[in-house]
Structures are given as C-alpha cells and as structure tokens.
Amino acid sequence: MPGKIGKYDILRTLGSGASCKVKMALDTETGRKVAIKIINDNLDEKMLELVKVEVEAMSKFQHVNIIEQQEYGNGVYEK
C-alpha cells in the first residue's frame, strides 16, 4: 500500500532483503523519482551497525552504474 515519508510519496516496492526494503518514491518538491531504503525496525545492534557502515560507504561512491545518494535520515512512514 502506498504511503508517504516526509516530502516523498511512496509509489511501489522495488525489492527487499534481511535488513531493509527499497521503495520507489516521488519527490514532491522536484517531481523526481527516487529510491528510498527503509531499514527494518527489528534489527539487532550488529546488523544496525552494518547498515550504518553501508550508508556511510554509499555516500562516498561515484560511478556511472551506482545511483547517487542524495540524503539520509530518519523519517516516519505514513500509510
């Protein structure tokens, strides 16, 4: 079911794994489609730390085959 996170309207699920779901969303300020990674709320401390390391690493990558990370933070998923 679509929902909203801040300025993003959730359109559909792109994929999911052990630690998160990835959703396609629309940035209501720019009209741009984006991918949003939603971290599962039941992760233990070790998995949460691994996710944080991944987010930090992704912010440093620049490659034509990797989507640029625009921002990260905490948001509320409103259904």
In the chain, what percentage of residues exceed pLDDT 70?
89
**pTM over 0.85, yes/no:** no
Domains and CATH numbers, the chain: 4-62 (3.30.200.20)
CB-CB neighbours of 76 under 10 Å? 8
* Residue 2 near residue 10 (C-beta atoms within 8 A): yes
Q: Which residues contact 76 (CB under 8 A, 6 or more apart)?
A: 5, 6
Give the list of residues 6+ apart from residue 30 with CB closer than 8 angstroms, or none.
none
Q: What are the tens digits of pLDDT across the range 6-33?
A: 899 999 999 998 888 999 999 999 999 9
